[in-house]
């Protein structure tokens, strides 16, 4: 790991690390999306053969009931017990009071309000390239189900035999996902955004993926909603002389298991910095600061996906944290507990986007409808103001619409 000072060009690069759009990826994704939009299932078959190296028929794109039943023969029985623990933790965390419909009734005959409804159809993308991300299934599906989403569809790449990982299938089945499709990459995102004869058109797509998946989500946004534009995983650890070096080292090393994962230690302890530099070989950074106030400032500017606080009184630091996807405090709260079982979803903003994105939650699957109800007397009262503004904007038909109520 490289040691970086509080000031310098390297630190500025870390602050501005938001992944740039690669021209080749952008153009490839544009071509795939256009092809799927025009040619539907036929395009999906071609891209599955090209990228996943498996030839499927249109009927084979959707996982069958017999395939799902067969998956249970290929999973560890103890896994279901562990999964139930995770489901209980996530469900209890998100089953807090949801947004409720509200109405304001005024004495002048005006009723204003907000009506909340769940999104109807959601598509979940689950990567399965370098490793099957089984945990991403329940971390994405459960908040949607708790919100009341009626239809949830899952897309995940098949292996070279045209099969979906049995653990992914089992979790999807236990969570009663409506259907699973053997689709990966930009073509999966396009299929869910536009719909085909086989794949339903969804209202929102969630879940992490590679550069092509992320670029596809960017390009279909507007045709449907998306959760966020996720990049490589990252962890920042704020630690001082009171931190256990073995914990810090282990958590920084764990980050190297993620493809292009970024690990950063922010510390005012030169002793800790030197220990970590010798024992952690990944391409991360150690940022030396004068004190914990500087550490907080650097962390807020990095706006990391995961932030661990390993100091004597972590809650004092926590009060000053403004930008982070998820915060883990104390020596017994490693990122791994959040990845798998704690409760809050591990689908989190990366690349500094924690400045404006939040971790996936129930509210991501709920939309509001504004309610406006005026009596004739109430409309009469505000008519002059409406007439004035509409006249300034040159909206003649708007004026006629208003005046028709009093003719």
Distance between CA atoms of residues 377 and 210, nearest Å: 57
The least confident of 77-81, 301-305, 325-329 is 77-81
Q: pLDDT tens, 354-366?
A: 999 999 999 999 9
Residue 259 has pLDDT above 80, yes or no: no
Please check whether residues 94 and 165 belong to one and the same domain: yes
Residue with tokens 């689908």: 347
Does 258 or 368 have the greater pLDDT score? 368
Whether 138 contacts 87, CB under 8 Å:
yes
Distance between CA atoms of residues 302 and 139, nearest Å: 25
Closest CA to 345 of 331, 332, 363, 330: 363
Q: What is the mean pLDDT of residues 168-172?
A: 95
Quickly state the pLDDT bin for 16 (edges 50, 70, 90): confident
Residue 219 has pLDDT above 80, yes or no: yes
Residue with tokens 């623990």: 85
Task: Quote the domain boundaries for residue 8.
Answer: 2-19+232-343
Q: What is the mean pLDDT of residues 184-193?
A: 97
305 is catalytic: yes
| Non-local CB neighbours of 42 within 8 Å, separated by 6+ positions | 58
Among the candidates 188, 206, 226, a domain finishes at 226
Say what percent of the chain tops pLDDT 90. 81
Q: What is the mean pLDDT of residues 38-47?
A: 96
pTM as predicted: 0.90
Closest CA to 124 of 110, 106, 108, 142: 142
Q: What is the mean pLDDT of residues 273-297?
A: 89
Q: What is the mean pLDDT of residues 48-76?
A: 94
Question: Domain count of the chain?
Answer: 3
Among the candidates 192, 226, 260, a domain finishes at 226
Residue 130 has pLDDT above 70, yes or no: no
Quickly state the pLDDT bin for 395 (edges 50, 70, 90): very high
Residue 297 has pLDDT above 80, yes or no: yes
Q: What is the mean pLDDT of residues 158-186?
A: 95
Please check whether residues 339 and 402 belong to one and the same domain: no
Does 122 or 22 have the greater pLDDT score? 122
pLDDT of residue 289: 93
Closest CA to 300 of 320, 275, 326, 274: 320
In-domain check, residue 372: no
What does pLDDT average to over the chain? 92
Three-state SS string across the chain, please?
CEEEECCCHHHHHHHCCCCCCCHHHHHHHHHHHHHHHHHHHHHHHHHHHHHHCCCCCHHHHECCHHHHHHHHHHCCHHHHHHHHHHHHHHHHHHCCCCCCCEEEECCCCEEEEEEEEECCEEEEECCCCCCCCHHHHHHHHHHHHHHCCCEEEEEECCCCCCCCCHHHHHHHHHCCCCEEEECCHHHHHHHHHHCCCCCCCCCEEECCCCHHHHHHHHHHECCEEECCCCCCCEEEEEECCCCCHHHHHHHHHHHCCCCCCEEEEEECCHHHHHHHHHHCCCCCEEEECCCHHHHHHHHHHHCCCEEEEECCCHHHHHCCCCCCCEEEECCCCCHHHHHHCCCCCCCCCCCCHHHCCCCCCHHHHEEEEEEEEECHHHHHHHHHHHHHHHHHHCCHHHHHHHHHHHC
Q: pLDDT tens, 71-103?
A: 999 999 899 999 999 999 999 999 877 778 889
Residue 19 has pLDDT above 70, yes or no: no
CA distances from 6 to 37, 180, 372 (A): 49, 48, 53
pLDDT of residue 91: 93
134: Cα within 13 Å, side-chain hemisphere = 18
Distance between CA atoms of residues 360 and 204, nearest Å: 12
Please check whether residues 267 and 171 belong to one and the same domain: no
Please check whether residues 213 and 238 belong to one and the same domain: no
Residue 242 belongs to domain with CATH number:
3.40.50.1980
Please check whether residues 115 and 70 belong to one and the same domain: yes
Among the candidates 197, 226, 255, a domain finishes at 226
Please check whether residues 114 and 239 belong to one and the same domain: no
CA 206 to chain centre: 6
In-domain check, residue 368: no
Residue 347 has pLDDT above 80, yes or no: yes
Q: Which of 215, 234, 306, 308 is catalytic?
A: 306
pLDDT of residue 258: 82
Q: What is the mean pLDDT of residues 162-173?
A: 94
In-domain check, residue 324: yes
215: Cα within 13 Å, side-chain hemisphere = 21
Strand 110-118 to 102-105 pairing: antiparallel
Whether the CA torsion 286, 287, 291, 297 is positive or negative: it is: negative
Please check whether residues 102 and 15 belong to one and the same domain: no
What six digits make up the tokens of 71?
């998956």
Q: pLDDT tens, 234-245?
A: 999 999 999 999
398 is catalytic: no
Q: Which of 215, 305, 308, 346 is catalytic?
A: 305
pLDDT of residue 77: 87
Distance between CA atoms of residues 277 and 281, nearest Å: 7
In-domain check, residue 313: yes
Please check whether residues 33 and 8 belong to one and the same domain: no
């Amino acid at each position: 790991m490289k040691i970086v000072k509080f000031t310098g060009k390297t630190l500025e690069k870390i602050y501005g690390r938001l992944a740039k759009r690669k021209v080749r990826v952008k153009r490839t994704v544009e071509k795939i999306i256009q092809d799927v939009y025009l040619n539907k299932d036929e395009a999906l078959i071609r891209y599955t053969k090209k990228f996943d190296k498996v030839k499927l028929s249109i009927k084979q794109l959707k996982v069958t009931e017999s395939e799902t039943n067969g998956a249970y023969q290929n999973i560890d029985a103890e896994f279901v017990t562990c999964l139930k623990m995770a489901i209980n933790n996530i469900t209890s965390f998100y089953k807090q009071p949801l947004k409720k419909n509200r109405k304001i009734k005024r004495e002048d005959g005006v009723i204003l309000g907000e009506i909340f409804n769940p999104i109807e159809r959601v598509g979940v993308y689950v990567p399965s390239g370098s490793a099957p991300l089984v945990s991403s299934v329940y971390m994405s599906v459960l908040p949607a189900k708790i919100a009341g989403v009626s239809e949830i569809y899952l897309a995940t790449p098949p292996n070279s035999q045209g099969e979906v990982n049995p653990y992914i299938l089992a979790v999807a089945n236990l969570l009663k996902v409506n259907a699973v499709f053997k689709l990966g990459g930009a073509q999966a995102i396009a299929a869910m955004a536009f719909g085909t004869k086989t794949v339903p058109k969804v209202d929102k797509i969630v879940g992490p993926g590679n550069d092509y998946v992320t670029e596809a989500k960017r390009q279909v946004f507007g045709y449907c909603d998306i959760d966020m534009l996720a990049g490589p995983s990252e962890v920042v650890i704020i630690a001082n002389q009171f931190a256990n070096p073995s914990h810090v080292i282990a958590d920084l090393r764990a980050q190297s298991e993620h493809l292009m994962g970024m690990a950063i230690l922010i510390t005012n302890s030169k002793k800790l910095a030197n220990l970590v530099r010798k024992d952690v070989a990944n391409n991360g950074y150690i940022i030396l600061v004068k004190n914990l106030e500087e550490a907080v400032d650097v962390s807020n500017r990095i706006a990391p996906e995961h932030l661990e606080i390993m100091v004597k009184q972590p809650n004092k630091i926590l009060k000053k944290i403004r930008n982070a996807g998820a915060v883990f405090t104390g020596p017994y709260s490693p990122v791994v507990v959040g990845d798998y079982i704690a409760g809050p979803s591990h689908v989190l903003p990366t690349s500094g986007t924690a400045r404006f994105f939040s971790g996936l939650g129930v509210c991501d699957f709920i939309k509001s409808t504004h309610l406006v109800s005026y009596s004739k007397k109430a409309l009469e009262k505000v008519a002059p103001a409406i007439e004035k503004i509409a006249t300034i904007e040159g909206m003649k038909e708007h004026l006629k619409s208003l005046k028709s109520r009093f003719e």
